[in-house]
Structures are given as C-alpha cells and as structure tokens.
Amino acid sequence: MGNETNENQNDIITRINERYPKMSKGHKMIAAFITDHYDQAVFMTAAKLGENVGISESTVVRFAMGLGYEGYPQFQTALAEWVKNKLNTVQRIGAKYGNSTQSEILTSVLTSDMNKIADTLENLDPVAFEMAVDTILDAKHVYIVGIRSCEPLADFLTFYLNMIRGDVYQINTTSASETFEQMIRVTSEDAVVGISFPRYSMRTLKAMEFAKDRNAKVITITDSVHSPMNLYSSCNLLARSDMVSIVDSLVAPLSVINALVVAMCLKKPKDVKRNLEELEQAWANYQVYLNDEINFIDEDSLNYPLVKESDEKNE
C-alpha cells in the first residue's frame, strides 16, 4: 500500500488536482486542457500546447516546473507514462478476468459493487447527508453539474428533483464557457450540486469554484476526502467509485443519490404527491401515454410517508 500511495502522489493528474486551486488563470487553462484532452496533449510540444490554449510557450514551461518537473520534457514524459497506464487498464482487466467464466465475472463485479456500497455506508457522514437534503430543499434554485461518465448521475438526480421541487437546472455543456453562461445567475440563495470522480473533470471543478465565489451553497458527490472537489464545498457526500473494468463503477454514488431523493420525498410528501398528480393529469389531458401504460404513481409507495405523517398527527 505504501508504494501505491507514493505512486498516486507522483501521478501527474494528482499533482495538477492538488495544485489547481492556487494556480494562476493561465495555468488553470493549461490544467483544464490537459485533463480533458490528455490524449492530444501528450503529443504536443510546449509551443503547440500554448497555441491550443491561447497562451505563451513560456507559460506552459512555467506550468510544468510549477508541478515539480525540471522542465517541459520531463513533464511530457510523466504525462506519457500516465496515458500509458490508462491504456494498460484494459490489459490489466484482461489478466484479471481472462480465464474467468461469464458467471464468475458477474459474481466478481457485483460483489465488488456491494463492497463499495458497504464501504460508502460506513464512511458517509450522516450530518453532511442531512445538510445536503435541507440545503437542496431550501434553495431558491438548484444547479446540478456532472459530465462525462457522471452525466447519467446528474440526469437521474435532476429528473427526480423536478418531481419534488421546481427551479432545478442541469448544466449541459461541452465547454467551460457554456458552463458559466448557464450559471451566470447563481446567487447565495442557490444550491449547486457537483458530481465528479477520478479522473476529476476540470469543467466541474471550475463550476464549483464559480459557485463558491458566488457564495452559493455547494454540495459535492465525490469519492474521497482527498478529492479536489471538496476544496469548494462545505457539504461533501463521499461514495466509493473504483475502476473494476474499463468503466468506472457508479453504483455507490447512485445509491447515495437515490437516498437523497427518498429523504427529500419523506420531508415533502404532500408536495411530491401534488406534483405527480398534476403531471399525471397533464399526461391524461394531452394523451402523452396510452391507457395500457403502467400508472406512474405507485400509490402504495407514495402513500407510505403520507400515512406515517397522518398517524403522527392522530397520536
């Protein structure tokens, strides 16, 4: 474990993440480009990298030295080594599962996911969870940021939050500039939920930094206390997300998001029921669904919190 920890500390992307908050504007631009386009940057000279980012070659060299490298050539070698390790992931997975049957692979992957959920349950801060629930419910507007592999998580959270409350916005973007365009009206009355796991998205980090500068309530869903996401948030929900195949396991983060949604539904049962009934009425009026579709409102599950609330009043 000791060697692995040292290797992670020397990892070029880890160095970038750790130093990002204190970087100058130009260096942050380089960091964002490398993190999002490492497969292109690895083949670029300092001059070419500067040209793509819109800064000088000397700034690129200073950026490399600021990360602890003697110069740009050593930096480029470290980046090439990191990219090589990423590409070797498929080979490592092949070595791990190459002689396994399909059933054994299924058991191994699902067991790994269960372990991640168990670890998340043990380490997630219940105070932070309660704070996240209250913050999201009390905010004037809620912005949700999650890109690349985290986009499905952001989609899921946005979909269900819209059933619970209004003024929920998912940041759909392919560039940093579009992120700020969609978040330009963020204020201290709003909440911003950022979702990111290794390799951390610089676009998401920039969105979190912007939200913090606007004094918004920032909530992060990320993997560990060492995540750079935590630098911009006072409410951190930690969920294990390790690579068990060529894709990242997002089972534990999805479970945390599911728990958030359920907790909010139990706090606002009447609002949820009313919103769903209005939505179903709209579907019926405009024939969105045919009569043979499954009823969207599951009365048994939806009435559970209402019955509980009613019983408490009767007592």
pLDDT digits (tens, 9 = 90+) for 118-130: 888 888 888 999 9
Task: Give yes or no on whether 2-87 and 124-267 have one common fold.
Answer: no
Token digits of residue 142? 């809620």
What topology does CATH give the domain 2-87?
Answer: Arc Repressor Mutant, subunit A (1.10.10)
| Residue-range domain boundaries for the chain | 2-87, 124-267, 269-314
Token digits of residue 139? 């905010």
| Residue 97 confidence (pLDDT) | 52
Preceding amide of 199 cis, omega within 30: yes
Q: Are 128 and 179 in contact (CB under 8 A)?
A: no
Could you tell me the pTM of the whole model?
Answer: 0.62
CATH code assigned to 124-267: 3.40.50.10490
| Residue 87 confidence (pLDDT) | 60
| Residue 306 confidence (pLDDT) | 45
For 285, residues 6+ apart whose C-beta sits below 8 A from its C-beta are none
Residues in the chain with pLDDT < 70?
Answer: 1-10, 86-102, 104-105, 173-177, 242-248, 283, 286-315
Task: Tell me how far apart the alpha carbons of residues 92 and 246 are, in angstroms, rounded to a whole number.
Answer: 10
Token digits of residue 49? 């990298």
Burial class of residue 157 (count of CB atoms within 10 Å of its CB; 0-12, 13-18, 19+): buried
The one-letter amino acid code at 67 reads L
